[in-house]
A and B are shown apart, each in its own frame.
Chain A
Amino acid sequence: MTYAFDRIKVLIVEDNAPMLEICRSLLMAFGVKDVFGTHSGMDGFQVFCKEKPDLVIADWMMEPTSGIFLTEQIRHNTLSPNKFAPIILMTGFSEKKRVIEARDAGVTEFLVKPFSARDLYKRVAQIIERPRQFVRTEEFFGPDRRRKVDQNFSGFLKREDDDIQKRLEQRLRMKEASLSLDKMRDQAGLEKGDKIDDSKIDTDPYEIDFR
């Protein structure tokens, strides 16, 4: 069974016509049937109010009105039919300060161009499977800017391709390194937490196998 994307409506706002068509064709390949396209933030908001899409994908830098403008309208305008609508912002910028700027405007996900079909799918799947709660403070309304805590995350090897075998190997290496340290302590007559005095240790620190 796959996602029934034919049940949702998506709005794409992109001023570069060929790029808009690529996004449209990707979504249709995913199975989305209702894809609306416009070329500016202001037009995008009008279509958003009329069609009430389930998902918005917008370019950041558009003339005369940007994807950030559209985001602000969706989140704050009293005419907005769904202030919680998920918004994916597309841009060529990947610098941290730009990502923070977009996040602070209330976007849900950030998609750096150029992107692959899988990149786009990952952002959409993230919205479906890991929706963010919303937060309202005096200065901000939008998706919570902190990611939810993942109880299954063990603290290392974050990449997708890190399988269970690699995690086990990593744990084993850490255990071996820890045992080497214990051995050094024993040889030096130290307890855990004691300051290490190099002169008391016979073991060459370079012999410790951290790999």
Chain B
Amino acid sequence: MSTHDHFQMSPRRKAEYFSPPNQIKQKVGSGGLTEDILSKAQALIENNSVDFRPIAEIYLESMQQGINLANQLKPDQGHEEVIEKILVPGMQLKANGGMFHYDLITRIADKFIQFMEVVEKLDADALEIIVAFHTTIRAILMAEIKGDGGKRGEELMQALVDACYRYFHKSEDARKII
């Protein structure tokens, strides 16, 4: 470190530490929970009879609104806000699908999030992939494909993952040309 750098250093930040009393521990004591209690709790999740479809439709509709906005975007306009509008309902589908027996939706929406987290521009190619995810999730709901969807579920998943790979290869090629 040079003398100049030394004198340009920002002052060290002061941090104050607290160890508040562990009130919750004082109240609940020790011992944890038994396997029996955890199994019964897990059964509540597995046996819930909530119909996920109306909830999922709200998220799909919200995602569609984001897609419509994206279709009107010009290349020089800020895409981040619209990406977030499409991404958040996708996250909700991922979060809730598996809680209400639609594990395949959770898996597909998880891939969708991964895709959206790295997309920078909502160009025609990216939108094609987004619409493919949207259509697939809607089809799963309409067909009431619960659980992992078996072999068909695996095929759907793979087709979407392949589409994402094709998109990224194409984007990479475009960058090389530029």
Contacts and interface: CB of A to CB of B under 8 A. Distances in A.
Given A3-B33, A113-B99, A136 B18 contact: yes
Contacts of A7: 27-28
Contacts of A125: 32-33
B33 A22 contact: no
A136 B15 contact: yes
A16 B28 contact: no
Interface in A113-130: 113-118, 121, 125, 127-129
B17 to A, nearest CB: 5
Contacts of B25: 128-129, 131
A159 B86 CA distance: 35
Interface in B14-63: 14-20, 22-25, 27-34, 37-38, 40-42, 44-45, 48, 50, 55
A43 B29 CA distance: 30
Contacts of A157: none
A61 interface: yes
B96 interface: yes
A61 B45 contact: no
A181 interface: no
B91 A91 contact: yes
B29 A1 contact: yes
Interface stretch (A26-34, A71-79, A171-179): A26-34
Interface in A164-196: none
Query: For chain B, which range describes its interface: under 10, 10 to 19, 20 to 34, or 35 or more residues?
Result: 35 or more
A125 B37 CA distance: 14
**Residue from B15, B30, B33, B103 whose CB has the most chain A CB atoms within 10 Å:** B33
Contact of B42 (A8, A93, A117, A131): A117
Contacts, number: 134
Nearest to A139: B13
B29 A95 contact: no
A52 to B, nearest CB: 10
Contact of B33 (A2, A116, A133, A134): A2
A188 to B, nearest CB: 40
Nearest to B40: A29
Given A128-B28, A135-B16, A121 B41 contact: yes
A136 B20 CA distance: 13
B133 interface: no
Nearest to A117: B41
B42 to A, nearest CB: 4
B37 A134 contact: no
A116 B48 CA distance: 13
Nearest to B39: A117
Interface of A: 1-5, 7-8, 16, 18-19, 21-22, 25-26, 29-31, 54-55, 61, 84, 86, 90-93, 95, 113-118, 121, 125, 127-129, 131, 133-138, 144
Give the 10 A-B residue pairs with the shortest CB-CB distance, closest first: A92-B95, A114-B98, A113-B95, A117-B41, A29-B41, A1-B31, A84-B20, A92-B91, A117-B42, A3-B28
22 contacts: A1-B30, A2-B32, A2-B33, A3-B28, A8-B27, A16-B96, A22-B45, A26-B44, A29-B37, A54-B23, A84-B20, A86-B24, A113-B94, A114-B97, A114-B99, A115-B99, A117-B42, A134-B18, A135-B15, A136-B15, A136-B18, A144-B17
